[in-house]
Amino acid sequence: MRYDLLIKNGTVIDGSGMPRFRADVGIVDGKVATIGKIRDGAQEVIDAEGHVVAPGFIDAHTHMDAQVFWDPLGTCSCWHGITSVVMGNCGFSLAPCAEKDKLLVMRNLERAEDIAPEAMEAGIKWSWTTFPEYLDAVDRLPKGINYAAYMGHSALRTYVMGERAFTDAATDADLAAMKQEVRNAIRAGAIGFTTSRTRNHQTPQGQPVASRLATWDEVRQLVGVMGELGAGIFEIAGEDTGLNPDRINDYLGRLKALALETGVPVTFGMFSNRKAPDYWRSFYSLAAETVAAGGRMFVQAHSRSLNLVLSFETTMPFDRLPVWRDVRKLPLAEQEAALRNPDLRRKLIEAASQRTDERIVGAEARPANYKWLFVMDRATPPYRSVAQVAAEQNKHPVEAIIDLALAKKMKQFFLQPLANENDSHALEMIKHPHSVVTFSDSGAHVSQIMDSSLQTHLLSHWVREKQAVTLEEAVRMLALVPASYWGLGGRGLLREGWKADVVVFNPDTIAPMMPEVDHDLPAGARRLKQKASGIMATVVNGEVVLRKNEHTGALPGQLLRGPLAQR
Ligand SMILES: [Zn+2]
């Protein structure tokens, strides 16, 4: 047999968790044709000596809905071995929505997910109204990786209710119209339906995003449509129960009842938190109880702390404070000059201890607690806190921050963890039987966080440095587990006859690299970018898309439609 692509001399870790073995992988027509000793020729050969050959990774929690229109590759995820993503999480999708109303949908996205409206305006050619039309638009786009899409509740509500979506409860007629759109979307291949009920999701005007106005009964009825159809997954950005046990129990009870009554798989992200260290455990118990009772529920876990990545090039904890606000408005070079002015430095240091009463939401920078603000001088932990560095240098913490930034030409990054600060909790969660390791939020929070590297962090930190997870287990976590939960058929394993989504990497060097700030979004909007070292090649549907982080020009990615559209 003559192969299209032959990956020779590698060590196969096939995604099932079984031990690694030496084999060649031969690919024909976008599928794995042979795994074994291959003597036949091929059009293209990759010598994977010393490298692992694994199924491409899958990130099921992204917000690439807008980005897919201007960035076919799916950066930054594609640089971390990702070959398929699921978008439309947390109630945020770009459909259904008519072009004339697009500003309403963007209002839902702008602050809650930190996607610049000018980038969306310049980068998206709006060619749909309904969700099925949006899927067709994505289907037609050139794509480097594969995309599956949920329909989001905020878009749906805004489509059906207009401005009332931001203020009112749904009428019976609204609800009937919304249910019909869910039905149409799932039949056309939406992977599911998502919503948000968290305070963190606000519009730029400080209003709740549209989905937060929904009653629980509205949510229940919309999810119920998927139950009737026997297809679709429900993802929720959860309610802020606080630590009130009654509210927690009420919310947990409703989630469990929803999963049992509809039969729809329910999923949500969960973090540990230093202010409520055991809060997450009740959600894992809930998943276990729900599954034991006959429902489907799984929890999305992150491989490390959820960090804001701060810098003078993006945002700093002091930006809203008087004195600071004036300096931070200036072009970066002028800020640099200002930070060298002794008088102004003194004023900035004084002002840094003030507080504003502006509400901070989502992934916006928090006021600085110097013990919980870290100097990101390398791509992976451990990091020293600003408090520690300041004490060593006998400086005020703000002075230390300013000097560090000046020494790096304003490019010094600082990490401000918001959750998952306890590494042993993070490990417990990623190993939990009801977990799936995902939740990069890739495509969103573009200048606030950089979690597209959570997969390479798992491989460098937990597998190589801590030896807390085997490489076989880690590949299973990143490929087969998400493929199975989201029903991405024929993906997530290296098997003859399965789709040839493959990542070839060096297990001794794979790691996230340092992030950088770039202004490469449409309209010059800024974002954080992060690549990985140690990945030799990324193959999607049988074609090499990336070699050593460089795009080959191939765009073999596909729209992955849900089960009802495949029959
Ligand atoms: Zn999200």
Q: Is 340 exposed, middle or buried (0-12, 13-18, 19+ CB in 10 A)?
A: exposed
Ligand 1 centroid to 266 CA: how many Å?
15
Mean pLDDT, the chain, integer: 95
Read off the pLDDT band of 146 (50, 70, 90).
very high
Q: Is the pLDDT of residue 112 over 80?
A: no
pLDDT at 463: 98
Local confidence band at 431 (pLDDT 50, 70, 90 cut-offs) = very high
Ligand 1 center to residue 60 CA distance, Å? 10
Distance 391 CA to ligand 1 centre (A): 37
| CA–CA distance, 76 with 80 (Å, rounded to integer) | 7
Angle, vertex CA 452, rays to CA 518 and CA 563, nearest 5: 125
Whether 483 shows a pLDDT value over 70: the answer reads yes
- Report which secondary-structure segment, H or E, holds 233: strand 233-237
Give distance in angstroms: CA of 206 to centre of ligand 1. Answer: 18
Higher pLDDT, 266 or 242: 266
**For residues 443-461, average pLDDT:** 92
Tell me how far the alpha carbon of residue 167 lies from the centroid of ligand 1, in angstroms: 22
Give the Å distance between the CA of 77 and the centre of ligand 1: 15
pLDDT value, residue 116: 83
Ligand 1 centroid vs 482 CA: distance in angstroms?
A: 16
Evaluate if residue 7 carries a pLDDT over 60: yes
Higher pLDDT, 308 or 106: 308
Q: Ligand 1 centre from 459 Cα, in Å?
A: 23
Question: What is the Å distance from ligand 1's center to 112 Cα?
Answer: 9
- Centre of ligand 1 from the C-alpha of residue 90, in Å: 5
Q: How far is the CA of 114 from the centre of ligand 1 (A)?
A: 11
Ligand 1 mean position, distance from CA 3 (Å): 40
Residue 61 C-alpha to ligand 1 middle, in angstroms? 6
Is the pLDDT assigned to residue 312 strictly greater than 80? yes
pLDDT of residue 567: 54
More confident residue, 100 or 361: 100
Which structure tokens are listed for 385? 């806190």
478 with 492: CB under 8 angstroms? no
Question: How far away, in angstroms, is 157 Cα from ligand 1 center?
Answer: 18
Q: How far does the centroid of ligand 1 lie from the alpha carbon of residue 347, in Å? A: 38
Ligand 1 centroid to 113 CA: how many Å? 8
Interval between CA 89 and ligand 1 midpoint (Å): 5
Q: Which pLDDT score, from 0 to 100, does residue 169 have?
A: 96
Ligand 1 mean position, distance from CA 87 (Å): 9
Residue 520 has pLDDT above 70, yes or no: yes
E strand map for 48-197: 52-55, 57-59, 82-87, 146-152, 192-196
Model pLDDT, residue 345: 94
Helix ranges (H only) for 310-414 are 324-328, 332-339, 342-351, 386-393, 397-407
* C-alpha 161 – ligand 1 centre gap (Å): 23
Pairing between strand 3-12 and 21-28? antiparallel
Residues 467/92, Cβ–Cβ less than 8 Å:
no
119 CA to centre of own chain = 19
Query: What's the gap in Å between 463 CA and the centre of ligand 1?
Result: 26
pLDDT score of 423 more than 70: yes
Secondary structure percentages of the chain, helix, strand, coil, to 5: 35, 20, 40
Distance of CA 71 from the midpoint of ligand 1 (Å) = 19
What's the gap in Å between 332 CA and the centre of ligand 1?
Answer: 31
Query: What is the structure's pLDDT at 400?
Result: 96
From residue 431, alpha-carbon distances to 299, 424, 541 in Å are: 11, 11, 29
**Quick check: 168 and 161 in contact, CB under 8 A?**
yes
Taking the centre of ligand 1 as the mean of its atom positions, its distance from the CA of residue 237, in whole angstroms, is: 7
Q: What is the pLDDT of residue 308?
A: 93
Query: What does the pLDDT average to over 104-126?
Result: 84
Distance of CA 239 to the CA centre of its chain: 19
Read off the pLDDT band of 366 (50, 70, 90). Answer: confident
What pairs with residue 436 in β-bridges? 300
Distance 470 CA to ligand 1 centre (A): 28
Percent of the chain with pLDDT over 90: 87
Measured CA to CA in angstroms, residue 95 lies from 124, 152, 556 at distances of 13, 8, 24
- 22 C-beta neighbours (distance < 10 Å), count: 12
Query: First vs last Cα of the chain: how many Å apart?
Result: 31
- 402 Cα–ligand 1 center, Å: 32
> How many whole angstroms from 63 Cα to the centroid of ligand 1?
7
pLDDT at residue 401, rounded to an integer: 96
- CA of 82 from ligand 1 middle (Å) equals 17
Ligand 1 centroid–CA 433 distance in Å is 22
- The CA 191 to ligand 1 mean position distance, Å, reads 15
Q: pLDDT grade, residue 12 (50/70/90)? A: very high
- Over 80: is that where the pLDDT of 363 sits? no
Residue at token pair 């008087």 = 322
Per-residue pLDDT tens over the stretch 19-50: 999 999 999 999 999 999 999 999 999 999 99
CA of 343 to the centre of ligand 1 (A): 43
Q: Which of 96-110, 169-183, 259-273, 348-362 is the least confident region?
A: 348-362
Distance 51 CA to ligand 1 centre (A): 33
Ion ligand 1 neighbours (CB, 5 A) are: 89-90
Mean pLDDT of 228-253: 95
CA of 379 to the centre of ligand 1 (A): 23
CB atoms within 10 A of CB 567: 6
Distance 18 CA to ligand 1 centre (A): 32
Rounded Cα gap, residues 390 and 415, in angstroms = 16
Length of the chain: 567
